[in-house]
């Protein structure tokens, strides 16, 4: 049995993460320690001077610290990520949820709650771990949401998250290519599709360029391939007065507005900023 002080471990892990160039090393050190030793946040602070950590727990800590120093994302190590106040299971088959997407959620909730539609029908295209579909269904129980992803693994992850969070009565996860397999018309289509240009992926931080799934990042040579296909398909899948809400890369905003006006000449398009002040959402009312 090894006897080691938790506070000393905390400082040691922090130093290693800092040397590896990990942002917020102290926060991540705490999260890795809590994961390795199955500690709650309050447990962590109350046991800083404890020394009763056995060899197996210490070996597990060493493995996950090594993984993080090679820039494997924290969320993939602990296999969970928080989004909109809920915990979602994640793995390398899906993108890690990001705070920017909460802007899309907030806008969709606002639009749906302002609607007089009793039971809105929504689609989440490129659902990944299911954060958009599941969050909307959890926040607005009257919704019916069809969540689509072209990755079988992602669709399965979304289905599992829906079951865990308790939205299986209103979220229906399927594998498919955008709207191709859907015949119904929607009151709202939400999508966080791949929007990084193919050549730009290699320039991103290692956590993204090496570890996150390329299928969920690559938007083609200009970042617009899937967005344009979705807007084209939406012409027969969105109800009059309905909304298409897209998360985008900020520099793509003018091009996405042009596409929206090409496919929906009379639409009302709105741009929304994220917390950094960057254009993140294009909302199209048709």
Residue 271 binned pLDDT confidence (cut-offs 50, 70, 90): very high
Note the pLDDT of residue 1: 45
On the question of pLDDT at 195 being above 50, the answer is yes
Give the global pTM. Answer: 0.93
Residue 244 · residue 286 · CB < 8 Å: yes
Is pLDDT of 33 > 80? yes
**Looking at the predicted structure, is the pLDDT value of residue 2 above 90?**
no
Phi/psi for 134 (5° steps) reads -70, -40
Mean pLDDT of the chain: 95
Q: What is the CA radius of gyration of the chain?
A: 21
pLDDT of amino acid 87: 96
Asked whether the beta carbons of 214 and 201 are under 8 A apart, the reply is: yes
Token look-up 């289905």 returns: 159
pLDDT digits (tens, 9 = 90+) for 212-258: 999 999 999 999 999 999 999 999 999 999 999 999 999 999 999 99
Segment 153-173, tens digit of pLDDT: 999 999 999 999 999 999 999
**What does the pLDDT average to over 64-74?**
97
Q: What is the 3-state secondary structure (H, E, C) of the chain?
A: CCCCCHHHHHHHHHHHHHHCCCCCHHHHHHHHHHHHHCCCHHHHHHCCCCCCCCHHHHHHHHHHHHHHHCCCCHHHHHCEEEECCEEEECCCCCCCCCCCHHHHHHHHHHHHHHCCCCCCEEEEECCCCCHHHHHHHHHCCCCEEEEEECCHHHHHHHHHHHHHHCCCCCEEEEECCCCCCCCCCEEEEEECCCCECHHHHHHCCHHHHHHCCHHHCECCCCCCHHHHHHHHHHCCCEEEEEEEEEECCHHHHHHHHHHHHHHCCCCEEEEEECCCCCEEEEEEEC
């Amino acid at each position: 049995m090894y006897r080691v002080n938790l506070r000393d471990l905390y400082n040691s892990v922090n130093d290693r993460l800092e040397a590896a160039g990990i942002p917020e090393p102290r926060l991540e050190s705490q999260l890795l320690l809590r994961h390795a030793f199955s500690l709650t946040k309050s447990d962590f602070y109350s046991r800083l001077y404890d020394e009763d950590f056995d060899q197996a727990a210490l070996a597990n800590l060493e493995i996950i610290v090594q993984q993080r120093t090679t820039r494997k994302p924290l969320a993939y190590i602990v296999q969970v990520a928080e989004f909109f106040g809920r915990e979602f299971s994640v793995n390398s088959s899906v993108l890690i949820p990001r705070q920017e997407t909460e802007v899309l959620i907030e806008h969709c909730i606002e639009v749906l709650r302002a609607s007089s539609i009793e039971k809105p029908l929504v689609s989440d295209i490129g659902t990944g771990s299911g954060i958009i579909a599941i969050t909307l269904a959890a926040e607005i129980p009257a919704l019916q949401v069809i969540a689509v992803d072209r990755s079988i693994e992602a669709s399965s992850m979304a289905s599992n998250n829906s079951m865990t969070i308790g939205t299986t009565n209103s979220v229906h996860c399927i594998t498919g290519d955008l709207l191709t397999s859907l015949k119904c018309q929607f009151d709202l289509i939400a999508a966080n599709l791949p929007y990084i240009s193919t050549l730009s992926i290699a320039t991103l931080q290692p956590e993204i360029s090496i570890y996150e799934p390329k299928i969920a990042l690559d938007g083609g040579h200009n970042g617009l391939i899937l967005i344009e296909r979705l807007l084209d398909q939406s012409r027969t899948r969105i109800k009059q007065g309905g909304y298409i809400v897209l998360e985008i890369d900020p520099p793509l905003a003018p091009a996405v507005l042009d596409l929206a006006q090409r496919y929906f000449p009379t639409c009302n398009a709105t741009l929304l900023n994220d917390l950094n002040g960057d254009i993140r959402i294009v909302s199209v009312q048709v």
